[in-house]
């Protein structure tokens, strides 16, 4: 394969060890698209005749068809997708095929394939993110006006609208989408023409190749380009954050679907049973998503470690970038798609949630704020309410179970109007600060989100 330099062929063990064709064949469409553009540019710059270009394009189309149809025979001794396609081309069309690699190295070729691939995957993941964002928006609409407990430290904190909680996830996945869109800008720069690492003396036109492949810009430094995988690391970082968000949601679903919480019902089709305990309905999907987060984090670590300490420029280590990237794409795509389906079929148990908001002193902060409005310093108010709560715990009741006289023992400033303040409705709807959980704010946020997902 290496032509004149070698006397002996590669040892079988080395061939097995160095080959990447069993995973990088995934890039064939991009490799062929890159070759088409490269060949077209070579012809326009006098490095190929029109006939040679036609033969190359014909041969590439044939190879692409065969790979599409599953009849192409990949050969491990040809190492990777680049050599497999180039060799097949030469075997089919002869000398013209052997001219295709002019002014090109596999170093800039793999950088191109990976950038083309990740550019598409960014677009696909953004669509998947839009779908999951849409699911949260519909849940927000369906349950608008219904209450649930909000938590800090997994202790009941303050009542909120279910829709507010759903829109929290909408925000998280919206940021993820924005991050991917931004990452895509740095992926979307054309590397071909850097050749091995120093550029080429052959008369090429990198900007033409960029235009043919719909890149707005070409990379600036040939040495940087051939050893750069920042864009892949950045992509996997974006995916890691997506999966962290999915994992946090999954954790909530596991908790919420337990008998202890009993806040939601996950549709039967998205649960599994136990092989021994007939009564069980397990939330395996969220559990698996939570678990798969480790794979994605692992891939990020693998890529970071891969690049650490590499001298410029290309080093073969970089071939190890593909499996973590591919696994990340597969894992995050599958997790996003199944989450969308699961959320679209999720039912909140609104009666139970409502009841849960009425215990646990969740409107205690409202009492403190009430006293603040009566000109009691917040720290003093905090302490007054703390005493009232302690007294309720002792009596085994809620703040709302105390009558006016009992409440006034804690502060003479308390009046009848407190009862509205202590109600769940009063508490939630008082939170009209920007980003707060009142019906007014949440309705506005929901409308904005609806516009974003439909517009
Ligand atoms: N399969 C290689 C990779 O994935 C392509 C580049 C090989 N370049 C080289 N000089 N051996 O990185």
287-305: pLDDT as tens digits: 999 999 999 999 999 999 9
Cβ burial, residue 402 (10 Å; 0-12/13-18/19+): buried
182-200: pLDDT as tens digits: 999 999 999 999 999 999 9
Nearest in space to 119 (alpha carbons), one of 244, 246, 213, 21: 213
pLDDT of residue 7: 81
What number does the ligand 1 atom closest to the CA of 81 have?
1
83-122: pLDDT as tens digits: 999 999 999 999 999 999 999 999 999 999 999 999 999 9
33-44: pLDDT as tens digits: 999 999 999 999
265-287: pLDDT as tens digits: 999 888 888 787 878 889 999 99
Distance 133 CA to ligand 1 centre (A): 38
Distance 108 CA to ligand 1 centre (A): 9
pLDDT of residue 271: 87
Q: Beta strands of 9-162 (E only): which ranges?
A: 147-152, 155-161
pLDDT of residue 270: 86
User: What CA–CA distance (Å, rounded) separates 413 from 320?
Assistant: 69
pLDDT of residue 51: 98
148-157: pLDDT as tens digits: 999 999 999 9
User: What CA–CA distance (Å, rounded) separates 145 from 137?
Assistant: 14
Which of 14, 110, 321, 323 to probe ligand 1 with, by most ligand atoms within 8 A of CB? Answer: 110
Q: Indicate which residues carry an active-site annotation.
A: 153, 274
| CA nearest ligand 1 atom 12, residue | 319
| CA nearest ligand 1 atom 11, residue | 316
> Confidence class of residue 203 from pLDDT cuts 50, 70 and 90?
very high
Q: Going by C-beta distance under 8 Å and a sequence separation of 6 or more, which residues neighbour residue 313?
A: 107, 197, 223, 224, 226, 227
4-27: pLDDT as tens digits: 788 888 899 999 999 999 999 999
Distance 107 CA to ligand 1 centre (A): 6
Between the CA of residue 236 and those of 84, 130, 285, what are the distances in Å? Answer: 27, 19, 22
410-444: pLDDT as tens digits: 999 999 999 999 999 999 999 999 999 999 999 99
pLDDT of residue 166: 98
Which of 5, 20, 101, 106 to probe ligand 1 with, by most ligand atoms within 8 A of CB? Answer: 106
Q: What is the mean pLDDT of residues 305-324?
A: 98
User: What CA–CA distance (Å, rounded) separates 394 from 389?
Assistant: 9
Please name the residue that has the structure tokens 């063990």: 13
Would you give the distance in Å from CA 53 to the centre of its chain?
A: 40
For the cut 90, the answer to whether the pLDDT of residue 76 exceeds it is yes
Determine the straight-line distance between the first and last CA of the chain, rounded to whole angstroms.
Answer: 53
pLDDT of residue 208: 98
User: What CA–CA distance (Å, rounded) separates 295 from 300?
Assistant: 9
Would you give the distance in Å from CA 282 to the centre of its chain?
A: 25
For the cut 80, the answer to whether the pLDDT of residue 3 exceeds it is no
For the cut 80, the answer to whether the pLDDT of residue 252 exceeds it is yes
Pocket of ligand 1 (CB under 6 A): 20, 80, 106-107, 110, 314, 316, 318-319
Written as six digits, the tokens of 448 are 């904005």
218 in Cβ contact with 190 (< 8 Å): yes
Can you spell out the DSSP letters for 55-79?
HHHHHHHHHHHHHHHT-----GGG-
pLDDT of residue 277: 81
Domains of the chain: 12-102 (1.10.275.10), 107-354 (1.20.200.10), 364-422 (1.10.40.30)
Q: Beta strands of 120-278 (E only): which ranges?
A: 147-152, 155-161, 264-265
User: What CA–CA distance (Å, rounded) separates 131 from 179?
Assistant: 16
This prediction's pTM: 0.95
Helix, strand, or coil here: 260?
Answer: coil
352-377: pLDDT as tens digits: 999 999 988 999 999 999 999 999 99
120-138: pLDDT as tens digits: 999 999 999 999 999 999 9
User: What CA–CA distance (Å, rounded) separates 439 from 430?
Assistant: 9
11 in Cβ contact with 77 (< 8 Å): no
Distance 119 CA to ligand 1 centre (A): 20
User: What CA–CA distance (Å, rounded) separates 318 from 242?
Assistant: 25
User: What rounded mean pLDDT belongs to the chain?
Assistant: 96
| CA nearest ligand 1 atom 3, residue | 319
Q: What is the mean pLDDT of residues 396-414?
A: 93
For the cut 80, the answer to whether the pLDDT of residue 2 exceeds it is no
pLDDT of residue 131: 98
Neighbouring CB atoms inside 10 A of 309's CB total: 8
Q: How many CA atoms lie within 13 A of 155 on its CB side?
A: 4
193 in Cβ contact with 112 (< 8 Å): no
> Confidence class of residue 29 from pLDDT cuts 50, 70 and 90?
very high
What number does the ligand 1 atom closest to the CA of 318 have?
12
Distance 121 CA to ligand 1 centre (A): 21
Which of 30, 78, 80 to probe ligand 1 with, by most ligand atoms within 8 A of CB? Answer: 80
What number does the ligand 1 atom closest to the CA of 79 have?
1
């Amino acid at each position: 394969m290496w032509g004149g330099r070698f006397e002996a062929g590669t040892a079988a063990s080395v061939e097995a060890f160095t080959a990447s064709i069993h995973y990088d064949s995934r890039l064939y469409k991009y490799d062929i698209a890159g070759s088409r553009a490269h060949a077209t540019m070579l012809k326009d710059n006098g490095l190929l005749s029109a006939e040679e270009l036609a033969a190359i394009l014909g041969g590439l189309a044939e190879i692409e068809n065969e790979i599409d149809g599953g009849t192409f025979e990949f050969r491990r001794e040809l190492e990777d997708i680049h050599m497999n396609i180039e060799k097949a081309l030469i075997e089919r069309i002869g000398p013209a095929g052997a001219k295709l690699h002019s002014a090109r190295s596999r170093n800039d070729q793999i950088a191109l394939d990976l950038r083309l691939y990740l550019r598409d995957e960014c677009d696909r993941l953004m669509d998947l993110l839009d779908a999951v964002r849409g699911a949260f928006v519909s849940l927000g609409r369906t349950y608008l006006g219904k209450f649930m407990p909000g938590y800090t430290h997994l202790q009941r904190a303050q009542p909120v609208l279910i829709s507010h909680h759903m829109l929290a996830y909408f925000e998280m996945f919206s940021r993820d989408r924005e991050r991917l869109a931004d990452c895509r800008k740095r992926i979307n720069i054309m590397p071909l023409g850097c050749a091995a690492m120093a550029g080429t003396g052959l008369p090429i036109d990198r900007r033409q190749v960029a235009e043919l492949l719909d890149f707005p810009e070409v990379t600036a430094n040939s040495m940087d380009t051939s050893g750069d995988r920042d864009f892949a690391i950045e992509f996997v970082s974006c995916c890691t954050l997506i999966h962290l968000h999915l994992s946090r949601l999954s954790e909530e679903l596991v908790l919420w679907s337990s008998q202890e919480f009993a806040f939601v019902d996950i549709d039967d089709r998205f649960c599994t049973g136990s092989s021994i305990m007939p009564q069980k309905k397990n939330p395996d999907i969220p559990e698996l998503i939570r678990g798969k987060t480790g794979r994605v984090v692992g891939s990020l670590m693998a890529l970071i470690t891969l690049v650490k300490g590499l001298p410029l420029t290309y080093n073969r280590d970089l071939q190890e970038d593909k499996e973590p990237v591919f696994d990340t794409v597969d894992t995050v795509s599958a997790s996003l798609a199944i989450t969308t389906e699961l959320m679209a079929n999720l039912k909140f148990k609104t009666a139970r949630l409502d009841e849960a908001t009425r215990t646990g002193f969740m409107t205690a902060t409202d009492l403190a704020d009430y006293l603040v409005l009566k000109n009691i310093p917040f720290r003093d108010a905090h302490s007054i309410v703390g005493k009232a709560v302690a007294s309720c715990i002792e009596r085994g009741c809620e703040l709302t179970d105390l009558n006016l006289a009992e409440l006034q023992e804690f502060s003479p400033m308390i009046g009848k109007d407190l009862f509205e303040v202590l109600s769940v409705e009063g508490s939630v709807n008082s939170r009209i600060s920007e980003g707060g959980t009142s019906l007014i704010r949440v309705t506005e946020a929901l409308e904005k989100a609806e516009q974003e997902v439909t517009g």
